[in-house]
Structure 1
Amino acid sequence: MTAVRTSVLPPYAAQLRVYEPLAAYPEPERARWQAYAAEHGPDADGTAEAVAAAALAEQRRALAALAGRTPGALPERESERALVRVVDRVTYVCPWTERLRSWQALDELREALPAFLLDTVLPPAVRAAAESDQARWRAAHPDARPWILTSRWEVPVRWCLPFGEEDRRFVPAAPAGGEGPAAPAALFYLTSMAQARRRVARGYRALRAAVPASAQGPGGALVAGVEQIGRWLEEFHPRSLVELDYGGLVHLLGPQRLAAERSVAVVEAGVVALRAGDTAAALRAYESVTARWRRVLALRQAS
């Protein structure tokens, strides 16, 4: 593997990932991932290790691929790389699916930017070609879904629901030693698919009981978002692992805020309060988390 050394930090983005066991993949895909895992080794061995170094290496590799040429709307071919975790001697694989995720990012960009700015970033002809490629690929892969969801500048409230405080793992940054590069800090949550589905279903039922199905505004949007996450998790093998990785947000938060960051615990307490009928306490928990991430989101405008 070619090492790409740059001073770039990871993007200020979090990721929600699913790692499926090798047994979940049909042949010949299973054999390919098995060979990949054997050749590259695990990116994390056990539940306490982070995949931060591997994720950063992949982001730097993508940056190097863009250097020296005109950026396109998406990669020319699908990535054959993945994140690999080994837990209790079972190998779990999370494919990068960069091409599929690039199409999704293009959709998000279309919604986020005004037309004149979008045309500057990605000319209409480039977008049209990407959309045509996507339509053809979707026709051939109607059941495709990404193993990775990305959120920039925040951890959405709905992403906290699959996890409990006991799933929290913080790995401090390690200084460079000899020839080896420095290891980035990492904050992540890791749980079983069974636990994740159970918690999301519990939170969804509590929210549906408290928020009318026709509700507009943040409440209705939260219910819809939780339902979407639940449906996404149902697409994967029941013995998968689910991970919330704060990614580059650890650099944005800084040491003090990072140590105090307990959004998952606050959301978990809010669901408990909601199930007990204490809507005031649940609302305080929700407002606490959203206010915390609004302060982080405000940094987008900082120059």
Structure 2
Amino acid sequence: MTTVRTSVLPPYAAHLRVYEPLAAYPEPERARWQAYAATHGPDASVPEHSVAPAALVEQRKALAEVVGRTPRALPDRESEQAFVRQLDGVTYVCPWATRLRSWQALDELRASLPVALLDTVLPPAARAAATAQRERWQAGHPDDRPWILTSRWEVPLRWFLPFGAEDRCFVPGSAEDRRGQVAPALFYLTPMAQARRRVARAYRALRERQGLGSAGGPARGPAGQGGPLVQEVEQIGRWLEEFHPRSLVELDYGGLVHLLGPERLAVEDSVAEVESGLLALRSGDEAGAVRAYETVTARWRQVLALRYAS
């Protein structure tokens, strides 16, 4: 298990990860990850262990890449590191895939910043070079996908769907923060088969019933037409289908633990509330489903609003 003492405060971001068993990787990639896992050791050897200390190592390396250098759109080479979990004698690997995720982050940056500010952060020439490199890479790796999705300042509602309340793991102390104090961790871990079933059930329920239509929520429409939430659930389902059926799926609140604080974190259980809302929806109690939806979204809007706090 990786341990680290660092002054790096994790970014306010949550992560959705997939850990695939070694058998899922083709040779010679399998042999490489097997050797890596044997040398590196597991970051978590029981389900109740968090990989938060290893995540701090990843963030520290990323910070070292940019400090004191001219900003680059993406790393020169793909990372050869991964998060490693061991469960019931099986080794599971979640590659960092830093370069691939950097390309995706660049797309998000383009969508979120005005052009003038974007040009200041990353000049057009750097973005054009990154795009050209990505196109060349994709030509030789058409099926590659990230093992890690990242969301800044919030946990998207659709990310709660693969999990059940029984998957919740709250660790009062996990990794040290910048003040040398031990920060808590909150994560959910579940088998891929269970995650797919839950997402499929949620998708069917949302398709069969009217949208949850509330302020800021999916628009109402005839049953079966769906809305933004239905489309987002479908995207998550398709992403999960890309991986080995015996994989593990993890939702890690990551640096958001610093925004929520220990007391709120100890009682935070959006997964159970989303489960309750879906149960109400399937039983025809749309009012109950709307209440659950609004409760969860209101909570995360409050967290998201901290992005603009001074």
For the superposition of Structure 1 and Structure 2, which TM-score range results when normalised by the shorter chain? over 0.9
Whether the 8 Å CA contact 1:174–1:182 is kept in 2: the answer is no
| Aligned counterpart for 2:304 among listed residues 269, 293, 297 | 297
Which letter maps to 1:17?
R
Measure, in 2, the Cα distance between the counterparts of 1:9 and 1:211: 42
The whole-number CA distance in structure 1 between the counterparts of 2:298 and 2:89 is 41
Instruction: Indicate how the Cα distance of structure 1 residues 118 and 277 shifts in structure 2: closer, same or farther if over 3 A, else same.
Output: same
- Percent identity over the alignment is 74
Give 1:148 deviation, angstroms.
0.3
TM-score, with structure 2 as normaliser: 0.92
CA deviations 1:205-253 (Å, max 9, x no partner) are 00001137xxx96241110000000000000000000000000000110
Q: Is residue 105 from structure 1 mapped to residue 112 from structure 2 by the alignment?
A: no
What SS does structure 1 have at the residue aligned with 2:305? Answer: helix
Question: Quick one: which of 231, 237, 243 aligns to 2:244?
Answer: 237
Distance of 1:294 and 1:118 partners within structure 2: 25
Q: What's the counterpart of residue 30 of structure 2?
A: 30
- Give the conservation status (yes or no) of the 8 Å contact 1:52–1:185: no
**Residues 186-205 of structure 1 deviation map (CA, whole Å, 9 limit, x = unaligned):** 10000000000000000000
Q: Once the 2 structures are TM-superposed, how far is the Cα of residue 175 of structure 1 from its aligned partner? A: 8.2
Correspondence for 2:205: 206
Give the 5 Å matches for 1:257-272: 257-272=264-279
- Please list every run of 5 or more consecutive structure 2 residues that lacks an aligned counterpart in the other structure: 220-226
Q: CA deviation at 1:118?
A: 0.7
Question: May I ask how many residue pairs the two structures share in their alignment?
Answer: 294
Change (3 A) 1:21 1:53: same
Alpha-carbon distance in structure 2 between the residues aligned to 1:68 and 1:26: 38
* Separation in 2, partners of 1:102, 1:4: 24
Give the stretch that moved more between structures: 181-190 or 110-119: 181-190
Distance 1:34 1:184 in 2: 31
Which residue identity does 2:66 align to in structure 1? L
Counterparts in 2 of 1:210 and 1:268: CA distance versus 1, 3 Å? same
Aligned to 2:71: 71
User: CA–CA distance in 2 between the matches of 1:274 and 1:261?
Assistant: 22
Q: CA deviation at 1:67?
A: 1.5
Between stretches 88-97 and 63-72, larger displacement belongs to 63-72
Counterpart residue type for residue 147 of structure 1: W
C-alpha change, 1:109 and 1:218, in structure 2 (3 Å) is same
2:56 corresponds to which residue?
A: 56
**Mapping 1:275-294, distance limit 5 Å:** 275-294=282-301
Moved more, 232-241 or 216-225: 216-225
Computed over aligned residues only, the root mean square deviation of the Cα atoms, in angstroms, reads 1.7
CA distance in 2, matches of 1:139, 1:64: 30
Helix, strand or coil at the partner of 1:173: strand
Give the Cα separation in 1 of the matches to 2:210 and 2:303. Answer: 27
Residues 45, 85 of structure 1: 8 Å contact kept: yes
| TM value normalised by structure 1 | 0.94
**1:1-20, Cα deviation, whole Å (9 max, x unpaired):** xx986422100000000000
Moved segments of 4+, more than 4 Å: 3-6
SS at match of 1:110: helix
